[in-house]
Amino acid sequence: MDMKKYGRQSAFLRLDDVRQPRIETIALVKEGRYGKPDVYFESGKVLSLNATNTETLIAAYGADSDLWVTKKARLYAGTINYQNEDKAAVLVEPLSQPDKSVTAKRAAAAAAAMPSDDDGELAEAKQFGSLPAKATPSGDMDDEVPF
């Protein structure tokens, strides 16, 4: 008799499931219990995201979780600092490249946050996503530092 159905079965990933890192593909993201996002993988497993993993995925793929679908991630056992204590946790490492649209939106947001100038050079940088020449370090790094 197959006894698996009588054991502790859960679709949620636990530390024991990632003692050996595993690669998963994101199939769906939706709000789960306690107002935290749950990531559903093509394998059928689910990971309830902590703040660390949420920030990691946002940094890689953007704040719109719909853009995370089809992205690959490595899941592994690690530690996070929670309430000033190191705790064991399932961690996420994004493996897929971000969509170009996400990268372009980030560049546009960063350019919009740049201060304006009198000669229009920063406005041009905002439009084309590059820094003006005078904002680039000159390479002259031999200035004396006062003590």
pLDDT in tens, 26-85: 999 999 988 899 999 999 999 999 999 999 999 999 999 999 999 999 999 999 998 999
Q: Look up the pTM and report it.
A: 0.64
Q: What is the pLDDT of residue 28?
A: 96
CA 133 to CA 147: how far, in whole Å?
Answer: 31
Q: pLDDT tens digits, residue range 113-136?
A: 665 555 555 555 555 554 444 444
Q: How far is CA 104 from CA 61, 62, 63, 109, in A?
A: 12, 11, 13, 9
